[in-house]
Amino acid sequence: MPVKTNCFTCGKSCTKTTAKDRKGNVCKNTFCSRACYLANHTLRRDVKCGACGNVFKVKQSSQKTFCSFACYNRKRYVPDKKCVNCGKKFAPLKKVGTHIARVNSAKLCSKQCAQEWLTNNEERKRKISVAMTGPKHPLWQGGKSALNEISVRGPNWKEQSRKAMDRDGRKCCDCGNSSDLVVHHKVPFHNYDNYTQANKLTNLETLCRPCHGRKENAIKTGKQMVLTLGDRRSGGHHGKCRGHKQHSSKLTEIDVLKIRSDLAERKSVNSIAKTYRVRNNSISSIRDGRSWKHLK
């Protein structure tokens, strides 16, 4: 379709159809005649080299910014840098695929300097502390327990932990290791409203740090509650949220009651799962009594 445009060479107004190159892309430059088209191939403009600053001539449509390949490489070349930890100059090299290349992002000369910088950089520590404080931390459980304000684990914690270690022969109750021991609460400390109950010897066991970490992680797979828990005496809670209070729960108690009603009416597990947007095994677990046991 003809369009009104200006000639790229002489600037005269002309009406031309949009031309395409050999690849099928629409040409940006339009010419009023064949003479202007041919003149454009001989017409040159001045360009300043981005590396050495020399002025050189290029075609009107050229996008060149360097006068030579040497200038192009010199501009791309990354010079030696100063290590931010030890202050020594180093070549910022990095393996890219199968070859070694200079990179502009390198700041440290070696792994040892990197480790020292990560350990001693107070500004970095401050930023991480701000980014991982309170609810931003992945292991955040809701805040400090009221008992924790008395002391770390109550006034009798040191004595009770020593008694628990003596009782267990100062060995890990799981693997028998005798080094790097800690005392573990079987039921989490913050699930009690009285430190004397939490620190009873029957609730304490001696573990090594690896075994202790495994048990703590097993507890933290469910979202834990924070004091005060008044429903423990009524037998309602033992360290993990139940039902819709669980952070990953997609169903509510009303949904589960409706699902049970649908199952009683012999509706298929697949159709119920699609209705509530859950997996088939979630519906099967409710049907077989493996989940939501507390809901009567």
pLDDT in tens, 26-61: 777 788 888 888 877 777 888 898 888 889 988 777
127 & 170 share domain: no
Contacts of 243 (CB under 8 A, 6+ apart): 249, 252, 253, 256, 292, 294, 295
Query: Measuring CA to CA, how many Å separate 140 from each of 35, 39, 100, 128?
Result: 76, 72, 43, 15
**What range does the domain containing 7 cover?**
2-42
126 & 172 share domain: no
pTM of the model: 0.32
Contacts of 108 (CB under 8 A, 6+ apart): 83, 84, 85, 114, 117
Domain count, the chain: 4
Show which of 204, 220, 236 is a domain's final residue: 220
Is 151 among the domain residues?
A: yes
Q: How far apart are CA 105 and CA 222, in angstroms?
A: 41
pLDDT in tens, 224-263: 444 444 344 444 444 455 677 666 778 888 899 999 999 9
DSSP letter assigned to residue 42: H
Q: Are 172 and 159 in contact (CB under 8 A)?
A: no
Q: Mean pLDDT throughout 199-227?
A: 76
94 & 159 share domain: no
Q: How far apart are CA 258 and CA 265, in angstroms?
A: 11
H-helix segments, the chain: 34-42, 69-76, 111-120, 122-131, 157-167, 195-198, 209-220, 253-264, 269-276, 280-288
